[in-house]
Homo-oligomer: A and B are copies of this chain.
C-alpha cells in the first residue's frame, strides 16, 4: 500500500463539510494515537475527543473562530500532564508488571531511571518534554487518518489558557498543547484543496553523512 500517495493526498484542511467519519476509521485513528511510542513509554499526556456540539461552540472563540472547530466531526485536544507525580510513575510500572507478568522488583531500576529523569527537570521542562511526546502521537494520528482517507487539520492557533478554561483542563491536571480537527474536506469551499504541496527540497532538508 502506498502510504506516500496518502501523505500527498492529505493537507491541512481549512474547511470541512460536517460529514461524520466512519466509526471504524475513527477508531483506527485513535488506536494509532494510543500506540504511538513515547520516551520511557510513559505517555505523559491525554487526548480529549470532543464531539459534543455545545462544547465545540464554546471552544470556537478561544480558537479564533476557525471553521474546522465546528465543521469537523471531532476535535482531538492533545493535552500534557501538568505534573509527573511519583504516583503516575508507580501506576505505569505496575501496568508493565501486569502486562508482562514480571515481578515489580525486576522493574525497580527502570523506575529509578524514570524518577531520576523526571526529578531533574523543572515543571516547565516537564511540560515541554511531555509536549514533544504528544507531538509524536499527533504525527501518528495525522498519518493514520491519511491512510484512512480522513481529513485532518493540526492546529496550534488557539489561546491555550482560554481553552484550558473552557475545557476545565486544570481540574484534570492537564494543559492544552495542540488540536487535531478530524472530518471531511469541503472540497468546493476550501481554497487549499488541490493546492500543490510545498516542502523543503530533499537536498536542503536532509544532510547525508
Contacts and interface: CB of A to CB of B under 8 A. Distances in A.
A180 to B, nearest CB: 11
Interface string A6-34: 01101010000000000000001011101
B99 A196 contact: yes
Interface in A33-80: 34-37, 39, 41, 43, 46-52, 55
Listed residue (A36, A95, A209) with the most chain B CB atoms within 10 angstroms of its CB: A209
- Report copies per complex: 2
Range of interface residues on chain A? 35 or more
A69 to B, nearest CB: 13
Nearest to A177: B132
Interface in A124-141: 128, 131-133, 135-140
8 contacts: A1-B1, A3-B147, A4-B32, A37-B154, A46-B206, A46-B207, A100-B195, A132-B178
Given A41-B198, A51-B208, A136-B154, 13 more contacts: A3-B143, A7-B31, A30-B206, A34-B206, A35-B199, A43-B205, A46-B205, A46-B206, A51-B209, A55-B209, A100-B196, A139-B139, A143-B143
